[in-house]
């Protein structure tokens, strides 16, 4: 039996790669039902970036992953409002957020309502940032194919 009933995680999932897949797989291993919030194009700006793949397409990609039970749009950063709407008992997030002021507050807030936050290690190798950098070089003509 899994440790948690309902899990929740969010992400941009732009240029979906193995790191995204690893996070969703590990999350599903710990809960019976996994809800995934896919960040809207408008909200992606919190990363000071613009999504390459449109929101609706990113939602369709995540919906097709067997580990995912439900996909919802993430239209704001209010995690407590998401909890009120989806009633999850665990939230999964990358460990690059662990120890930040923002996530320390989330931990305090969620502890009061019985929600555990589980941090997963960042997948080494392919990342959206790396893919974005390669695409940037290609569009600038810095990469020449043989």
State the catalytic residue, choosing from 47, 50, 102, 105: 47
Cα 103 to Cα 19: distance, rounded to the nearest angstrom:
21
Q: Would residue 25 show up in a list of annotated catalytic residues for this protein? A: no
Q: Would residue 28 show up in a list of annotated catalytic residues for this protein? A: no
Cα 35 to Cα 45: distance, rounded to the nearest angstrom:
22
State the catalytic residue, choosing from 2, 49, 85, 137: 49
* Positive or negative torsion for Cα 80, 86, 90, 95: negative
> Which residues touch 109 (CB under 8 Å, ≥6 apart)?
79, 80
The answer to whether 54 and 17 have CB atoms below 8 angstroms apart is no
Q: Cβ–Cβ contacts within 10 Å for residue 40, how many?
A: 18
The answer to whether 53 and 18 have CB atoms below 8 angstroms apart is no
Name the residues annotated as catalytic: 47, 49
């Amino acid at each position: 039996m899994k440790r948690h009933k309902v899990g929740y995680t969010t992400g941009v999932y732009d240029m979906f790669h193995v790191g995204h897949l690893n996070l969703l797989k590990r999350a599903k291993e710990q809960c019976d039902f996994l809800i995934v919030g896919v960040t809207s194009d408008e909200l992606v700006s919190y990363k000071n970036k613009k999504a390459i793949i449109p929101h609706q397409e990113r939602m369709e990609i995540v919906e097709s992953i067997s580990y995912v039970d439900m996909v919802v749009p993430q239209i704001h950063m209010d995690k407590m409002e998401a909890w009120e709407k989806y009633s999850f008992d665990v939230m999964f997030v990358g460990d690059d957020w662990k120890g930040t002021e923002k996530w320390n507050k989330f931990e305090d807030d969620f502890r009061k309502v019985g929600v555990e936050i589980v941090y997963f290690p960042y997948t080494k190798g392919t990342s959206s940032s790396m893919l974005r950098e390669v695409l940037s070089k290609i569009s600038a003509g810095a990469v020449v194919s043989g």
